[in-house]
């Protein structure tokens, strides 16, 4: 995935979230509201995280939490 790609945030964020110390998926409580929504990648970083337009780039989203949407 790359900047400009449209993605779907997985529907099961709540199931993946294991509380405040979620080091597996790096999900925080405030991210749960975006579960199942479409977004556009606005930037990426060296460790595989993505910033999305849906939250104005506030959170880092791991690849496993996103599914590419075919054009």
- Write the CB contacts of 47 (distance below 8 Å, at least 6 apart in sequence): none
- Write the CB contacts of 12 (distance below 8 Å, at least 6 apart in sequence): 35
User: What is the reported pLDDT for 13?
Assistant: 81
Residue 45 confidence (pLDDT) above 70: yes
Tokens of 45: 């970083």
In this predicted model, what pLDDT tens digit does every residue of 18-36 receive, in sequence order? 666 556 678 888 899 999 9
User: What is the reported pLDDT for 15?
Assistant: 79
Check residue 55 and report its DSSP letter. Answer: G
Interatomic CA distance for residues 38 and 31, integer angstroms: 13
For residue 35, the Cα-to-chain-centroid distance in whole angstroms is 9
Check residue 21 and report its DSSP letter. Answer: T
User: What is the reported pLDDT for 23?
Assistant: 60
Q: Check residues 47 and 33 and name the one with the higher pLDDT.
A: 33
């Amino acid at each position: 995935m790359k900047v400009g790609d449209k993605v779907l945030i997985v529907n099961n964020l709540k199931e993946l979230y294991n509380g405040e110390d979620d080091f597996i998926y790096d999900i925080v409580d405030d991210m749960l509201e975006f579960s199942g929504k479409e977004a556009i990648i606005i930037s990426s970083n060296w460790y595989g995280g993505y910033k999305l337009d849906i939250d104005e780039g506030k959170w880092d989203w791991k690849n496993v939490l996103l599914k590419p949407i075919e054009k």
